[in-house]
């Protein structure tokens, strides 16, 4: 995979991070995991010195890295100091990403009165999080998961799962839902279709994050 088309962000609870990027047109897959530490093999229960992050795979013809950086800044408070697990951080894959991050941070800082605490760090090893964290909001609806028929490993980085997970957290619109179901050639049962419409109409809800 071309690392130019991958972005890694830490912005508090990774269940919500996966939703915030999963809804963006041009994002073709997301997963959640751990990075940023120096000790091997972190797990959710033993995170060691790592933090919760989302990995975003995108099509640069449809969405740019700069646009993803805008989503990052606008979808959490980068001035908020919290424990390391939930720290605000951007991991760069190459010098071009590093430059774009630095520029966007400076532009962002000009609009804020509090200092930005976001760390800019080189990307190193990524540890995929446990299955039950992947597409957390989609997983709450087992009948939907069953209907789309993806295995645990297919849910990771699946474009369909990224979008459905975001809709299940109340993001997006019913128009986007129907356009994308068509694009994916996916026919949902009336029950599941109504369920997603209802969740979208109820509005964003990352409640447990």
Candidates 5, 13, 125, 186; binder of ligand MHO (CB under 6 A) is 13
Binding mask 29-68 for ligand MHO (x = CB under 6 A): -----------------------x----------------
Q: Give every CB contact of residue 133 below 8 A, 6+ residues apart in sequence.
A: 14, 15, 32, 44
* Half-sphere exposure at residue 104, Cβ-oriented, CA atoms within 13 angstroms: 22
Q: Is 13 a catalytic residue?
A: yes
Candidates 6, 8, 11, 14; binder of ligand MHO (CB under 6 A) is 14
Q: Is residue 9 within the footprint of ligand MHO (CB under 6 A)?
A: no
Angle at CA of residue 16, ends 102 and 24, nearest 5°: 65
Q: Is residue 73 within the footprint of ligand MHO (CB under 6 A)?
A: no
Q: Which region among 8-16, 93-101, 116-124, 139-147 touches ligand MHO (by CB under 6 A)? A: 8-16
Q: Which two tokens stand for residue 107?
A: 């532009």
Q: Is residue 15 within the footprint of ligand MHO (CB under 6 A)?
A: yes
Q: How many CB atoms lie within 10 A of CB 12?
A: 21
Q: Give every CB contact of residue 176 below 8 A, 6+ residues apart in sequence.
A: none
Residues that bind ligand MHO (CB under 6 A): 13-15, 52, 208-209
């Amino acid at each position: 995979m071309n690392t130019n088309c991958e972005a890694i962000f830490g912005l508090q609870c990774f269940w919500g991070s996966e939703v915030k990027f999963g809804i963006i047109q041009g994002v073709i897959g997301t997963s959640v995991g751990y990075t940023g530490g120096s000790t091997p093999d972190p797990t959710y229960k033993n995170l060691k010195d790592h933090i919760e992050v989302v990995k975003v795979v995108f099509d640069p013809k449809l969405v740019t890295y700069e646009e993803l950086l805008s989503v990052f800044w606008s979808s959490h408070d980068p001035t908020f100091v919290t424990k390391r697990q939930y720290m605000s951080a951007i991991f760069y894959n190459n010098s071009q990403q590093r430059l774009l991050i630095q520029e966007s941070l400076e532009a962002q800082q000009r609009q804020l009165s509090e200092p930005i605490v976001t760390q800019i760090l080189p990307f190193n090893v990524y540890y995929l999080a446990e299955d039950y964290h992947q597409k957390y909001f989609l997983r709450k609806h087992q009948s939907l998961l069953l209907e789309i028929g993806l295995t645990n490993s297919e849910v990771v980085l699946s474009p369909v799962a990224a979008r459905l997970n975001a809709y299940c957290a109340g993001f997006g619109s019913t128009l986007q839902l129907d356009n994308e179901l068509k694009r994916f050639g996916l026919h949902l049962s009336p029950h599941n279709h109504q369920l997603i419409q209802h969740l979208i109409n109820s509005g964003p809800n990352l409640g447990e994050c």
